[in-house]
Structure formats: structure tokens, C-alpha cells
Structure 1
Amino acid sequence: MPIIDLQPGGTIVPLLRCDVCIVGSGPAGATLARELSNSGLSVVLLESGGEQRNPENDALNDIENIGRPRAPDQWSVRNRILGGSSHTWGGRCGPFDAIDFEQRDWVDHSGWPIAMHELDPYMDRSASHLGLAVGSGYSDQRFWSIAGRTAPEAEVAANRLLPFFWQFSRDDAESYPFEYMRFGRHIAKHLGSNVTLVTGATALRVLANDASTKTRGLEFATNDRRKHSLVAGAVALCAGGIENARILLNSGKPDRPALGNDRDQVGRYLMDHLRGPAAVFSLNGSAALQRRFGRYNVQGHFFRAGLRLSPTIQREERLLNCAAWLGEVLAPDDPWDALRRLAARKPRLPEDAISVVRNIPLMVRGTIDYFGARNGLPRKLQELTLECMCEQVPDADSRISLSDRRDRFGMRLPKLDWRSHPDEARTMHRMAELVASEFSRIGFPVPVLADWVRDRAPIPESFVDVAHPTGTTRMSSDPSRGVVNVDCQVHGVEGLYVSGSSVFPTAGHCNPTQMIVAMAIRLADHLKDRPERPILTEMLVHAG
């Protein structure tokens, strides 16, 4: 795999041509490039950052926010670095539910043009990209069979709540045994000789023919502020839910709508996940609860148990989808953190040594749990909460547009008007109430509802975005209701594709990364199966 580093002091910018240009090396872009390796297509993978974090690159993620409060530090949710936002993600994976793909009459603008079962083969293939034990069939009661365990006798009522299991990504190549897949760390060994990785290249706008009906390539900039053109038969934007929309809005002719935006759909339907504590448990007497809804070690892979709203109650009470799990606030003297620092020879002395000595009984029990019961290590907690995460209503007025402010390359910044809605608060209230009711029924500790839940108040403003920007280039068979078609090609623009959570019509209750990877694999298959490949050769012949 050729590598061209355009960071300051790097290689002189060469003339770049390819069949497929991929923008962004995060989970979507890295997966797409890996799947196109050795395909017979020439591929260029563009990454704005490099191998190390750079303040100048961080500044390119500035936003103008005029809506609901968002994470004040954009680095916590968006990373311009090789591997993209997998650099700071929490590794949590899971599939969407079948109901998430349905057109629900109580959720405006819901419904996907594909069904969940169509994605199952790609979910299975995502396992190797994410370091998962299995790619599908693990998030419901089938987990107990996969884990070789007996399902609990006391269980929540299936018409109200359902068990749900998340799986955590694992990078076997890292020395720490439970490090998440960061995508950028080992990218070179996963890409074929037909893929050229270019770092320090910031995508500015997509180039198209005069009629704006076919892509011709991409304009990008290097850190010296020079602008360059890359000729490509196809362009796949894999730069995240905010940047994908921003690039499209900055593309096209000055006297026409932005590229792919003839129907004013680009940037609309901005969603994320509203997530935070809805109740709190007493730590006393919570050991059984923590074992049942804690971490499970399955063949060296960690899973996490939780709950989700059943489709039955969603339909009956016209609720959105929502999940809940135990939130653990670690005590300052948690011995496992202290032991990890001691093992890494970066201790805080004498505090870490004292912490280990004082908590020997907890560590003995943890060793037994880890190797015997095959659960995760029990942590010393300061607080145990009920965390809820809810999907959002697709709202055309919750959107990304362009600010009058510009970045150092002269490109207009994204202006975010992210909105929340009463149905989201109502759903989270109901989720917390159902958990309290069901736990009381089956004999688990009952949490104390948070004031905002008890008082039926709006979701607190402290519940900011959680790095899951969704919907801004949504998929739809109807060009008047979305940006990309069922193949993730931008409506009306041949050869222009988008990959990532920005194409999701709804956000579900689940972390999006595994779905992002599965959809990228699906797009790769489509690009390889296009009848006119190789794309660049066909384009140049017609241009001549």
C-alpha cells in the first residue's frame, strides 16, 4: 500500500487519479478501503489528519452552534487523525432493531428503504473489522447460548422490556488485551497495493460536470493552504455526520443549489443520541444486580447487558426506541485503575499502592469472577446509576447549514441547529419507570428516579451529543425525502456516494459503529459490482 504524507515537510503533492476516492479514514472509510483492496479498482484514501493529533487539524472541526448545547470539546466527539473518531470511541457495538427500519405512524419521517434482515450478512462480515466474537444474533436472548450460560429465571416482562447485549470491539494486535479497534493503528497491513493512503489532505468540495449530474473528483487542501484537484470516477464521503453534509453544502456551482441538494435535503434531519442518568441505585445490596446487568467475558470478548423497550410497548404507547444499562461512577481509589498504572510503570505514589492494599478483598473477588464466573472485573464504585439512551424524532428543522465563518482554507463552517423534542423526554421518563417497576416485580433493587424524570421535566441540557451525528444525508427511495438512494449514491449525481451514520433515516437506541461498518461493506460490494468498472478508465474515455 503506497502512503503519501502531505503533512508539513512531507511529500510534494503528486498528480492523483483513481477509480474511487474515499474521504475519511474512520470506521466507514477504513472499512470501505479495506473491502476494495485487491479489487482491480484504483483507490485513494484521503485523511485530513496524520498519525498524531495536531491543533491545526483540530481547529478544522470548529462549528457554529445555534441549537441544543453540544459537547464543548469537539475532540471528544470528532477526531481529525488517521483512524478518525475511532481514536476516542468507547468500543460499544450492537445492531439496530427490526422496528427501527419500519415506517412507524407515530414517528414522522421514519422508515428505511431496506430491512434489518438485509443487513445481517454485512453485520456478520463486520466482525473481522471490529474484532468481535460474532457479528449478529448476540444482542437478544440468544446471547446466553453464545456465552454457554443458562438464562436467568427471573426476567423482565417481554411485552414491556427486552434484554439487550452490547459487544465491545477488541484489537488483538494491541498489548492491552481489551483495547478497542482504532482503525488507524494497523491500517497499512489491511490495505492492498491498489490503495494509496494520503494523509494531510483536507477535502474541500466535490467536483462535478457542468450539469452537476456526475462526479469528476475532489478538491482538497494541504496544510500550506494550497488547493489541489484529484480526478476520480467515484467519490465516497466517509467523513462523519457533520462533515459529510458540510462538504456537500460547500460543493457545486455558485449560482445553483449545492451538489445533491436540489430538493434542500442536505444537512436536514440532524439527530444524535440523548443519553444520561435517569435514576440512581443504592450501592448496598446491589451485587446481584451488578452481576446480572454487568459485563460478561465470552471467549476473551466483553459483552454488556442492558434493556430496551419492547416493540409492543413502543406501538401501544407511541414511544421512541430507548435502551438502559447500569452506569458506573468509579471511586477515586478503584484498585484496578491503580493496578493498571502500576503495571504500566506510571503510578501515582503512594496513593495507588494504598488503594491496592486496602481493596485486596475486592480484587480477590474480581479474580474469581473473571476466571471463574467469566464476568468482568468488579470495580469499586462511587455511584450506580440507570443510564438511558433514546433515539430522536427525525426533524427537518434540526439541521446543518453553513455559517458565515470560515476555516483557514476559506471553507464555510457548519452551523448546527440541533433540536430535541417532547417525545424524547416522554420516552426516557417511561423507560425509567418501567425499569423501576419491573425490577421491583422480579426482586432487584429499585432505583430512585431522577428529579427530571419524576417531575416529567424536559431532558436536562447536560445531556449533550455523544458522537453519534445521524441523518444529515439520509437514505430514501424518494429524492424529495432524502439525499442518497438505497445504494448510498447521491440522488441525481452519478458516482457520488456517502457512507456513515449520516445516511441513517433514524437513529435507533443503539451505538452506530457496527451498523456504519456493515453499511460500508455493503457499499464496497456495490462499487465492485458496478458494470462500468474500472470507473476512471470509463470516465476518461468519455471525456476524450
Structure 2
Amino acid sequence: MAVIDLHSEPGASIFPLLRCDLCIVGSGPAGATIARELSSARLNIVLLESGRTERSAQIDELDAIENIGRPRARDQWSVRNRILGGSSHTWGGRCAGFDAIDFQERPWVAGSGWPLKVEEIDPFLDRSASHLGLAMGRGFSDERFWDIAGRTPPRKEVDPSLLLPFFWQFSRDEAESYPFEYMRFGRHLRQHLGENTTLVTGATALRVLSVESDTSVQGVEFATLDGRKHTLTASAVVLCAGGIENARILLNSGTGGRNGLGNGRDQIGRYLMDHLRGPTAFFQLPGSGPVQRRFGRYNVQNHFFRAGLRLSPAIQQREKLLNCAGWLGEAVAPDDPWDALRRFYAKKPRLPQDVVSLVRNSALLLRGAKDYFGARNGLPRKLLELTLDCMCEQVPDPDSRITLSEHCDRFGMRLPKVDWRSHPDEARTMHRMAELITAEFDRIGLPKPILAEWVRDKAPIPATFVDVAHPTGTTRMSTDPSKGVVDSNCEVHGVAGLFVSGSSVFPTAGHCNPTQMIVAMAIRLADHLRSRPYKSAPVEIIANAG
């Protein structure tokens, strides 16, 4: 594997001769997975990454947006990372596959339905485990968890016609010395890439290049921070740059003044979804031990799992609700001893505060050791607040969308204009979820939370519930080109050789974090890319004055 860092060598005029069958744009979970899966394929691959191995303020500026819709995270780094490994730098490690109902066409959810069935995704969820550092790829998210964990199920459980148990598994990077570090896709990427792959960092993709008719790709135009623009010719291109940037690149592409590449039916950028997530109820900390033990963390095969609940398909259909999940949210105290211990482990302690935290909270450390090694649970944290957090899927709305702003970035490319929208059904679903959990906890003898004011008043979802780094749907999958951007193989309708990977191809967002589904779908796409024919002409990366 070759590595070219264009940030450290920005003045290079001609880069090494490459035979590029496939260009992958973006090295986050989707791009890194495809590159790894194809490392033994008989293809010459170039992996372009806008960032480098370290964060850069200049590169961060390229994530600027113009927001005209629902409030979004002010710090784009918290939701989008231009760096080797992409947004796995700031993800929370939660993994789970989507529910069967997420793939179905639901009459009460306009625009729902995937061109795939859950059974078609299962083999790729299994294969995703090695990429994500999971104990297993599927079969852990429902009541089967208790057998997997070797534990007796709770004596009293919630009514399954209303709520179902759900478990998230946390990613683990076993190559790291810190035992609870999540998989950061850029950290070990180079050792997983084959000799057929060239990794180019400091290369910001600007547009996809196509033939004059826009019916097939020719390559990618990219730029270095010094403003120079370059052309990489390729037989096929896969955009793996995230839900916002995938749409922006396509909208900035195309020839003859067209409104984007592959956008003849005005579908690119539409159906923008994320996850609305936040507290719906609050627990009193004194006496909350039983609910913390039942819905806390579990240690299984040296992997952490987290327990929660989701709406049953029966009540979703009966009450025309969206899919939604709930779990315990923890506001950790500033002097939590486990955070202090982690900083000591990383050799970055805050002195003398961390020493004081360890001494004052030694009893909590002792209990945590017993919980972890004895009861095989997670580590108890010192909390300021314990909440019932819910996360709800969004209505697929074609008017919730990304278009292009009149403002441009340093390369003269138009910024994404984001018009993210929320809907009454999302608030109604979260109200109902909180009410059901509160009533069921009371019925089975668990501490009953106090509903948040906005839930009691049946008010809209608070503006403080901003996007949570799960942009979805802007290049959605559909067998009908008038209703989506890519087909069931993630190839852009009408543009041969142009593919998109990541959550932007998801027709619906489900209730759970998207990363495992992103990786599973990337593996599926890699299998398809391996089997398709390619031109075998040599290709140069040629520097042009920009």
C-alpha cells in the first residue's frame, strides 16, 4: 500500500502513475470498510481523504454549512470529522442492526420501505463484527441476549405488546491498550489495506467527473489546501463522505449546466433525516439502583452491552407511531473517578483534581471492580442526573433537504444549504414512548421517572434536541428512479460506475445508531464492486493550476 500526503507535499506537480479502477472518496466507516474488503481484489484502488491523521483547523472549515431549518449542532466537529477515519473519531461506539419493521413499507409512514429485506442484510451484519470489534454481529438485540450473556431473564418484564427489550453492543478496539476504546477506523487502516490501494490524504473531493452526457463517470476532481486542483481519472467512483457531503458533491457535479450529476428527477439532497434524541423523563438518584442495574451496562465476553426498550411493532401499527427506543441517560459528575482513572491510563491526568477524585470516590471504585469482575456488569459512574432518553426515527420528508448555498468554500465550491425539518408524528411518538415506559416501570415495580415538562404538555420536541451525527436519506435507495438516487446496489440511477455508500442511501433511519448498518451495507457494496467489470487503462493523477 502506498501513502501520499498532499498536505505535506502540496507543491507536487505530477504524482506517481496509478492504475485506478476504483476511487473511494472518504475514509470513514463506509470508505474504510470498502477499501479493506477489496484489499485482496484484482483492482487498483485510490482512497481519497480530505483530512490527515491529525485534526486541522483549516480542514475543519470545509465542513461549514448554511442552515435554514431546525437548529443543528453549532460545532460541526461534534457531528462531522474530516480526518483519516472520518466521524469514527467522535462516535459513541453503539452498534445494532435495524429492526425488521424498518425495512417494511408502512402505510402510516409515507416514503417508508427498503428495496431489501432484513434477511438480505443479516450475512453482512455478521461480517461487520470484525470491522467494528464486536463479539457478534447480530442476534443480541432482543430477548436472546440473556442466553448469550448466560443470565437469567428478569422475573418481571414489560408488556411485549407495548414495549420490547433492546440491547446495543459497544464497539471495542482490541488493538488499543485502553480496554474500552471504540474502533477508530483511521487508526489501523494502513495495516489493513492491500498493495492494490493508494491512500491519498489532504485531498478534498470537489466534484465527480463524467462524460458529456452524464451517463457514466470519468473520475474525481479534488483540491489541496493550497488551492491547487487535480484530476484523478477512474473507471468507478464510490462516495463515502457522509450524508451531507455525498449530496453536496453530487449537486456540485455534472456537465452542461445540469442541476447536479444523477439528479434528473430532483431527488439528490431530499429526505434528509437524523435522529431526534434527548431526555423525556427524569429519575430521582436516591433509590434508582434497581433501574440502573436492570437497564445499565453488561459485560459479555469482555464487550459492553447496554439495555433499553423499543416500541413493539404492534403498537407502532395500532397507534401509527414511528420507531423509537429508550434507555438511561447519565450526566456524569466532573469528579467521576472512572474518568480520572482513564486519564491516568492515557498518561494525561488532570493534577491534582484527578488524584482527589480517586481518593474521595474510592468506595465507588471498589464497587465498580466488584461489578465488573464479579457481577459482569458495567462500571458504576458518579452521576449528577439520571434521565430516560429516547431516540426516534424521522418521517421521510422530501422537503427536508440539502441544496446548494450561494456561499462558497475556499475552493470556490458552493456550501450545503441545510433545511432539516421535524414533524408532529416524531413528537407524538416520543410522548407516547415516555408515557409507556413510565407506566410499565410503575407496574413491574421499578422506580418511576417523572415526565419532562414538554412531554406532559404534549409540546413539540425542544429546540435543544439537535442533530446527533446521523445524517440519513439524502441519496436514498429506491428501485424507482423518481423516488430515489441509487438502486439496490447503491449505483446512482442513470450514471454507470457511480456509487454511494453510507447512511445517505438509507430510505428510513430506524431508531438506532447507524454505524453497524453503514458497515454492513458497505461490505455488501464491496462484494458487488468486486464482481463488476472494470476498464484497465492506466490513469495519472495530474496537477492543474487552480
TM-score class, shorter: over 0.9
Instruction: Output the amino acid matched with 1:9.
Output: E
Give the aligned residue type for 1:40: R
1:433 correspondence with 2:467: no
Counterparts in 2 of 1:266 and 1:471: CA distance versus 1, 3 Å: same
Correspondence 1:103-118 to 2 at 5 A: 103-118=105-120
Instruction: Name the aligned partner's letter for residue 131 of structure 1.
Output: G
Write the mapping of 1:2-17 to structure 2, written as runs, cut at 5 A.
2-9=2-9, 12=12, 13-14=14-15, 15-17=17-19
Alpha-carbon distance between aligned partners in 1 of 2:248 and 2:298, rounded to the nearest angstrom: 40
CA distance in 1, matches of 2:362, 2:407: 56
- Per-residue displacement from partner, 1:361-399 (whole Å, max 9, x unpaired)? 222211111001100111111110000000000000000
Q: Which moved more, 1:330-339 or 1:458-467?
A: 330-339
TM-score of the two chains, using structure 2 as the length reference = 0.97
Trace 1:260-275 onto structure 2 (pairs within 5 A). Answer: 260-275=262-277
Correspondence 1:233 to 2:230:
no
Cα distance change of structure 1 residues 538 and 393 upon mapping to structure 2, 3 Å threshold: farther
Q: 1 CA distance for matches of 2:90 and 2:450? A: 32
Correspondence for 2:22: 20
Given that residues 66 and 417 in structure 1 are in contact (C-alpha distance below 8 angstroms), is that contact kept between their aligned partners in structure 2? yes
**Pair 478,343 (structure 1): closer, same or farther in 2 beyond 3 Å:** closer
User: Where in structure 2 are the equivalents of 1:150-299 lying within 5 Å?
Assistant: 150-299=152-301
1:37 paired residue number: 39
Paired position in structure 1 for 2:333: 331
Q: How does 1:288-327 map to 2 (within 5 A)?
A: 288-327=290-329
Q: Equivalent residue of 1:423, what SS?
A: helix
TM-score of the superposition, structure 1-length normalised? 0.97
Aligned runs of 1:57-96 on 2, under 5 Å?
57-96=59-98
Q: Establish whether residue 99 from structure 1 lines up as the match of residue 101 from structure 2.
A: yes
Cα deviation for residue 145 of structure 1 reads: 1.2
How far the C-alpha of 1:9 sits from its partner, in A, is 3.2
**Distance in 2 (alpha carbons) for counterparts of 1:74 and 1:87:** 13
Count of equivalent residues: 538
Task: Check conservation: 1:322, 1:427, Cα contact below 8 A.
Answer: yes
Aligned to 1:53: 55
Secondary structure (helix, strand or coil) at the match of 1:402 reads: strand
- Residue number among 362, 387, 390 corresponding to 2:389 in the alignment: 387
Measure how far apart 1:253 and its partner are.
1.5
Q: Distance in 1 between matches of 2:71 and 2:354?
A: 37
Deviation at 1:352, TM superposition (A): 2.6
Cα distance per residue 1:81-132 (max 9 Å; x no partner): 0000001111111110000011100001000000111100000000000000
* Aligned counterparts of 1:325 and 1:535: Cα–Cα separation in 2: 50
- Given that 1:23 and 1:239 are in contact with CA atoms closer than 8 Å, whether structure 2 keeps it comes out as yes
SS for the counterpart of 2:374 is helix
Instruction: Report what 2:408 is aligned to.
Output: 406
Residue type of the partner of 2:2? P
Specify the SS of the correspondent of 2:20.
strand
Tell me, which stretches of 5 or more residues in structure 2 are unaligned?
Answer: 541-546
Deviations 1:150-184, CA, capped at 9 Å, x for gaps: 11111111000000000010111111111011110
Is the contact between residue 18 and residue 539 of structure 2 (CA under 8 Å) also seen in structure 1? Answer: no
Change beyond 3 A, Cα 1:298–1:69: same
> 3-state DSSP class of the match of 1:462?
coil
Instruction: Please tell me the residue identity of whatever aligns with 1:371.
Output: F
Shift of 1:490: 0.1
Q: In 2, Cα distance between the equivalents of 1:110 and 1:507?
A: 10
CA-CA distance at 1:257 after TM superposition: 2.9
1:296-344, Cα deviation, whole Å (9 max, x unpaired): 1111111100000000000000000000000011122212222333444
User: In the alignment, is the contact (CA less than 8 A) between 2:4 and 2:198 conserved in 1?
Assistant: yes
Distance in 1 of aligned mates of 2:69 and 2:401: 9
Residue number in structure 2 paired with 1:461: 463
Question: How big is the shift at 1:425?
Answer: 0.1
Give aligned-pair identity as a percent. 73
The two structures, once aligned, show a CA RMSD in angstroms of 1.4
1:265 partner SS: coil
Corresponding residue of 2:544? none
| CA distance in 2: counterparts of 1:7 and 1:345, whole angstroms | 29
**Does the CA contact (< 8 Å) of 1:225 and 1:408 recur in 2?**
yes
**Retained in 1: the 8 A contact 2:28–2:86?**
yes
- Measure, in 1, the Cα distance between the counterparts of 2:161 and 2:365: 39
Partner of 1:239, secondary structure, is: coil
Structure-2 residue corresponding to 1:348:
350
Q: 1:139 aligns with which of 138, 141, 147?
A: 141
Q: Quote the residue 1:370 is aligned against.
A: 372
Shift of 1:254: 4.0
- Which runs of 5 or more residues in structure 1 are unaligned? none
Q: Is the 8 A contact 1:139 1:166 kept in 2?
A: yes
Output the CA distance in 2 between the equivalents of 1:338 and 1:409.
Answer: 43
| Aligned twin of 1:445 | 447
C-alpha distance in structure 1 between counterparts of 2:218 and 2:355, whole Å? 61
